[in-house]
Amino acid sequence: MKIISSLFLITFFLSACSLISGPDGYFPDKKYDFLDEQIEEDIALPGSLSDPNSENHYPVVGLEEIDSILEVPKPRQIFASSGNSSVQLRRLGELMWIYIETLPSTSWPIAKNYWDTSKYEVVGADPISGEIEIEFNMETKLQMKVEHGIKEASTEIFLYQINKISGDIESNPEFVQQELEKIVEYFAASVSNFSGTSLAAQNLNEMKKANIFTEDGKTVIALDLNFDRAWSSVSRALIAADIITNDRDRSNGIFFVSYAKEEERGLFGLFGGRSNNNNSQEIVLGEESQFEITIKEENGKSFVRAISKDGNIADSEQLLSKINESLS
């Protein structure tokens, strides 16, 4: 009798499940219904409207014929975030630019969208060169340039007002500053919520302004900057890296610094070094800790070298590496 009751209950529950979620039940399973959907025709715009201008951020390369099997490499990471992105308006003399702690390929679609939603007309946008041209008035146009910054995975944005006839940059710092301030606000509100990237602008990530190479067995930092910006950038890097600047000779492009190797920093307190309470004191170290940081401009680029007073190349390389990490 118990067996018959159990079979009855099982049959009842199975029937109930079928009645509720079966094909003819109250709540049928529709997860595969999309397979039976028909492709509808595209929506036709009325004659009074036109398609909006849009940029394809994910272009697909056309392959007409494939003669052999292609080995597809592992895709490299195209976006990474280290937390809060920083957006700043920086100035050096009349030169102003926006500094953003994110990759140019991520900054590009945000910059493009800023102008697309502005009152100005975008007349050209090239993600390969990072340039956006905007119609301004009868005599001039605006040009925005999105570039890789000095710091790794950073962006610098410049804005110029250009004469349409001569092609010269016109000096209008007040207007440029006002417009850049608006762009800073737009980026500050957008970049933290934006996790995408433009594949069309990927090459901008490779156009770095700071590169290290070896010359005659010695390390050199090459900066794609003029002397004024290079001097300012290295000066900030020395402060950020906690490297003591004893003196400087700007006319000859030399910083005279004191620097101890990482393993020697624990001994700084014995020499009156800097403490965690920010009470900086002058450090008097031996000759082996004295260096000259030189900056020389050649063909529009600046080259940074380190020379140890005792001729220790290894220590000079470590110092340059520290400076390079702190460039911004």
Q: What is the pLDDT of residue 76?
A: 39
**Spatial contact of 173 and 32, defined as CB atoms under 8 Å apart:** no
- Residue 120 CB burial class (10 angstroms; 0-12, 13-18, ≥19): middle
Q: What is the mean pLDDT of residues 63-69?
A: 55
Q: What is the pLDDT of residue 22?
A: 58
Fold of 87-205: Alpha-D-Glucose-1,6-Bisphosphate; Chain A, domain 4 (3.30.530)
CA distance 195 to 37: 32
pLDDT confidence band for 7 (50 / 70 / 90) = low
Specify whether domain 209-326 bears CATH 3.40.50.2000: no
The set of residues, in sequence order, having a beta carbon less than 8 Å from that of 298 and lying 6+ positions away, is none
Residue 197 structure tokens? 């990237």
Per residue in 75-98, pLDDT (tens digit) is 433 333 333 348 899 998 888 999
Q: What is the mean pLDDT of residues 265-283?
A: 45
Q: What is the mean pLDDT of residues 130-134?
A: 95
CA distance 272 to 280: 9
Beta bridge partners of 313: none
Q: What is the pLDDT of residue 226?
A: 93
Phi and psi angles of residue 129, each rounded to the nearest 5 degrees, phi first: -90, -15
Handedness of CA 327, 128, 120, 194 (dihedral sign): negative
Per residue in 186-233, pLDDT (tens digit) is 998 887 777 678 899 999 999 999 998 888 888 999 999 999 999 999
Pairing of the two strands 155-163 and 95-100:
antiparallel
Per residue in 106-119, pLDDT (tens digit) is 999 999 999 999 99
- Measured from the Cβ of residue 3, the count of other Cβ atoms closer than 10 Å reads 7
Per residue in 224-260, pLDDT (tens digit) is 999 999 999 999 999 999 999 999 999 999 999 998 7
Is the pTM higher than 0.85? The answer reads: no
- Report whether pLDDT(183) > 70: yes
Least confident of 44-48, 105-109, 134-138: 44-48
Q: What is the mean pLDDT of residues 46-68?
A: 64
pLDDT confidence band for 270 (50 / 70 / 90) = very low
Task: Determine the angle formed by the axes of helices 173-190 and 104-116, rounding to 10 degrees.
Answer: 110
Q: What is the pLDDT of residue 35?
A: 73
Residues of the chain with CATH 3.30.310.170: 209-326
CA distance 257 to 238: 9
- State the virtual CA torsion across 275, 280, 284, 290 in degrees, nearest 10: 100
Residues of the chain with CATH 3.30.530: 87-205
Q: How much of the chain, in percent, has pLDDT values that exceed 90?
A: 45
Q: What is the pLDDT of residue 39?
A: 77
Least confident of 2-16, 175-189, 308-322: 2-16
pLDDT confidence band for 135 (50 / 70 / 90) = very high
